[in-house]
Amino acid sequence: MLKDKVAVVTGAGSGIGRAVARKLAAAGARVVVSDIDEEGGHDTVAAIGAGGAEAVFFKADTSRPEDNDALVAEAVKRFGGLHVAVNNAGIGGPMAPVGEYPIEGWDKVIAVNLSGVFYGMRYQIPVMKRGGGSIVNMASILGQVGFRNSAAYVAAKHGVVGLTRNAAIEYARDNVRVNAVGPGFIKTPLIENLDADTLKALEGLHPIGRLGEADEVAELVLWLCSDKASFVTGSYYAVDGGYLAQ
Ligand code: NAD
């Protein structure tokens, strides 16, 4: 499905990003696994290698423009181009109502979850314009609706959806497709520090009656990255067990 394609995945040292990197590699892509967490990143590369596919790790902080520039340069240097990018790195941030929200927490969440996606595309698109490509930006159900005490996250993810639409219409004629994926609550380290009662309550918010798995998100991302989604651009795709249908 992705033979001869080169992919970068940010936040690929854990959770959804790791599942995406593994799936893209299993589908034939050569993958640059990127994260600020070196250990997690190397574990992902090892898992991909154990499956007989090819990947390298590159440390990059998505909230730093120069790191995004260097990440794209690494893909081109190591594998000769860039065809697929999954801008997935993200953090949860503090929990508080807007009137009490910590300013530093706001700045950090916006820097990683929103500016990080912009910086990613800012450097990925000029390279992709040469031969076409597919970008998937990781939004959330919270890119469509609010969630108490999560203003920065909600604002950033809504921003990711808007940014995705804008990039999609600007580069559709260059054969660069840009889409956003919106997971419901997924069992990853991002939510694992929540207590059992909260997790149970979150399960109940999904009509399917459970939390999602990282692999279930990665399956959709793989499809969007592939040529099977050749007429799909500027879209937001939920993978949320029915959360948004209520
Ligand atoms: P996770 O915590 O398991 O993985 C996130 C990864 O991003 C980590 O490896 C972390 O080191 C990395 N990261 C954090 N800040 C970074 C930075 N500045 N630069 C580079 N890497 C950085 O979380 P996850 O659940 O796999 O989340 C992945 C994406 O999916 C995020 O954008 C998150 O907002 C989104 N998402 C998650 C859920 C969920 O319920 N888990 C739901 C909807 C959307």
pLDDT in tens, 58-109: 999 999 999 999 999 999 999 999 999 999 999 999 999 999 999 999 999 9
Going from the Cα of 237 to the center of ligand 1, the distance in angstroms, rounded, reads 18
- Choice from 33, 154, 190 to test ligand 1 binding pocket (greatest atom count within 8 A of CB): 190
Please tell me the number of Cα atoms within 13 Å of 122 on its side-chain side. 15
C-alpha closest to that of 238 among 228, 230, 246, 11: 246
* Pocket residue to mutate for ligand 1, from 91, 147, 185, most atoms within 8 A of Cβ: 91
Instruction: Give the pLDDT confidence of 151-168 residue by residue, as tens digits.
Output: 999 999 999 999 999 999
β-sheet with 133-138: strand ranges across: 55-59, 30-35, 6-10, 84-87, 133-138, 176-183, 236-239
Q: What is the mean pLDDT of residues 111-119?
A: 99
* Mean pLDDT score across all residues of the chain: 98
| pLDDT digits 0-9 by tens, 189-246 | 999 888 899 999 999 999 999 999 999 999 999 999 999 999 999 999 999 999 999 9
For the segment 39-49, what is each residue's pLDDT rounded down to a tens digit? Answer: 999 999 999 99
User: From the CA of 117, how far away is ligand 1's center (Å)?
Assistant: 12
Find the helix packing angle between 15-26 and 38-50, rounded to 10°. Answer: 30
In whole angstroms, give the CA distance from residue 237 to residue 134.
15
The pair of structure tokens assigned to 205 is: 């918010």
Active site residues: 153
Residue of minimum CA distance from atom 3 in ligand 1: 15
Q: Do residues 12 and 1 lie in contact, with contact meaning Cβ atoms separated by under 8 Å?
A: no
Closest CA to 12 of 75, 50, 76, 60: 60
Would the pLDDT of 141 be above 90? yes
Q: What pLDDT shows up at residue 186?
A: 98
Atom of ligand 1 nearest to the CA of 11: 7
Instruction: For residues 33 and 19, give the distance between their C-alpha atoms in angstroms, rounded to a whole number.
Output: 11
